[in-house]
Amino acid sequence: MSPKKNGNLIWFLIIKVLIVSNAQCSQSKLNELALNNFREYLRIPSVHPNVNYDKCVIFLRKQAQSLNLPISIYEVRPKKPVVVITWEGTEPEKPSILLNAHMDVVPVFPAEWKYPPFAAHMDEKGNIYARGSQDTKSLSIQHIEAIRRLKLNGIRLKRTIHISFVPDEEIGGKNGMKPFVATQDFRNLNIGFALDEARASSDNRFTVAYGERTVFQLWVNCTGKPGHGSILFDNTAGEKLRVVIDRFMDFRASEKAKLRDPKVQPGEVTSVNLDMTRGGVQVNVIPNELSVAFDIRIAPGVNHTKFENMIIGWLKEAGEGVNYTFIQKDLPVENTKLDASNIFWQAFEKACDNNGFKLYPQILAGASDARYLRELGIPALGFSPMNNTTPLLHENNEYLNKDIFLKGIDVFVKIIPAVANA
């Protein structure tokens, strides 16, 4: 090889190394920014009860400014803001894409945590401990950072993207997504497809939820003869309560037994949990009323009228003076179709197949705000890209590993263009 050709080759290699080095440096800075934003968001204690969302809104305004995108604040209920950051598409007349997650988190028991639950401490393994690390502040930041990377790469999408941050999902969305979808502001967003939350997966697959069980929560109230705690009266509230608890818990056991079959998913059975009790005034006084609250999630395909009639039968069996009141009773909602009739699912699945993302379609065991979208006929998938991760939603020491978090951003970088260009 001539000296000139040899010199050109050396310069070519130097330039190539510089390009690769700059790209790696840029990627490193983006990862650092994403982690800093994630941990900053986690440090905002948007925790129930009595959540103050002011700091969340301030944080999200800053994110919208960094993306150079418009932000809208809708307050359907006082002090319950719905925040929407919008990236307009090249064909904004097409139905848009909604990327949704909630700002609120469930209560904590600090004494049970290895680290303060709102410190966003990162240990030597890269595990970031904080309430909301899985449910769902990670998801919000992944949406933001994926859009940031797409914009920096000069990519334009056909459909408009709306990133939404909603309040009070953890208490049923009654002051958040539920009233918001009934507004003209929501209709103006022209949503055609939505991505919302799902659970982490302990293996290398990604959970994708196409439906969920129906929330059916109630108080059962048992009234009876009161009196001195030393006398064995007939017709006491406690005797009736025992029958009620036995019937509900026997049914619970029968549903739980179905899960012994490895082919049966948790979202395919009806769950029953006794969550609260109340009543009584003093240990030596037989109360005139005792009550118990059950959190029930009805599996898809169950006839709700027959299910409620079964409960009515149990209460009649317990005796007179036994009644029930609903805490929350949702209507059954049709699952999102995973077939050729859903162009967004086809685009989503193809993007995952092309990039080697293994999917685990399932019925979500809990409830999410996606149900309010499905009620309107909007196809919605629950998708939180957290694989190889122990699910810790609502548990003590909730954490997410930084590498899993960052990988999730890359996953959305592949998926968002696919569904937005469908």
HEC per residue, 70-99 = CEEEEEEECCEEEEEEEECCCCCCCCEEEE
Beta strands 161-166; 96-102: pairing state: parallel
Measured CA to CA in angstroms, residue 167 lies from 51, 84, 127, 257, 307 at distances of 9, 12, 26, 36, 31
Per-residue model confidence (pLDDT) at position 25: 59
Task: Considering only CA atoms, give the Rg of the chain.
Answer: 26
Question: What are 343's two structure tokens?
Answer: 């162009």
Q: How confident is the model at residue 22 (pLDDT cuts 50, 70, 90)?
A: low
Report the pLDDT value the prediction gives residue 274, as an integer from 0 to 100.
Answer: 98
Residue 249 structure tokens: 């818990």
Task: Please give the pLDDT value at position 365.
Answer: 86
Q: Which of 4-13, 83-92, 185-194, 300-309 has the lowest mean pLDDT?
A: 4-13
pLDDT (tens digit, 9 = 90+) per residue, 222-252? 999 999 999 999 999 999 999 999 999 999 9
User: What is the sign, positive or negative, of the torsion defined by CA atoms of 327, 295, 369, 135?
Assistant: positive
> What is the pLDDT at residue 20?
46
Strand pairing of 380-382 and 322-329?
Answer: unpaired
Q: What are phi and psi of 132, to 5 degrees?
A: 100, -5
Q: What is the distance between the alpha carbons of residues 406 and 386, in angstroms, rounded to a whole number?
A: 10
Kindly list the structural domains of the chain, giving each domain's residue range(s) and its CATH number in brackets, ordered by start: 12-212+365-420 (3.40.630.10), 214-329 (3.30.70.360)
One DSSP character per residue, 358-407 reads -EEEEEESS--THHHHHHTT--EEE-----S----TTSTT-EEEHHHHHH
Distance in angstroms (rounded) separating the CA atoms of residues 209 and 212: 7
What b/e readout covers 131-164, taking b as 16+ CB neighbours within 10 angstroms? bbbbbbbbbbbbbbbbbbbbeeeeeebebbbbbb
- Chain centroid offset of residue 254 CA: 28
In this prediction, residue 26 has a pLDDT band, given cuts at 50, 70 and 90, of confident
pTM of the predicted structure, to 2 decimals: 0.87
Task: With a cut of 70, say whether residue 312 has pLDDT above it.
Answer: yes
At which residue do the structure tokens 């401990």 appear? 129
pLDDT tens digits, 329-383 = 999 999 999 999 999 999 999 999 999 999 999 999 888 999 999 999 999 999 9
As given in the structure block, the two tokens for residue 195 are 């991505």
Token pair 């900053």 is found at 40
Hey, how many other C-beta atoms are within 10 angstroms of the C-beta on 46? 23
The confidence score (pLDDT) of residue 87 equals: 98
pLDDT at position 216 over 50: yes
- pLDDT grade for 10, boundaries at 50, 70 and 90: low
Q: What is the mean pLDDT of the chain?
A: 94
Phi, psi of 307 (to 5 degrees): -65, -45
Q: Which percentage of the chain shows pLDDT scores above 70?
A: 94
Pairing label, strands 161-166, 80-87: antiparallel
Kindly tell me if the per-residue pLDDT of 11 is higher than 60.
no
Distance CA 367, CA 215 (A): 7
State the pLDDT confidence band at 5, using cuts at 50, 70 and 90: low
With residue 228 as reference, give the H or E element that holds it.
Answer: strand 227-228
Tell me how far CA of residue 321 lies from CA of 244, 290, 309, 407, in angstroms. 12, 11, 17, 56
What are the residue numbers of the active site?
104, 169
Contact partners, residue 262, CB within 8 Å, separation at least 6: none
Share of the chain above pLDDT 90, in %: 92
pLDDT tens profile 73-85: 999 999 999 999 9
Distance CA 417, CA 12 (A): 33
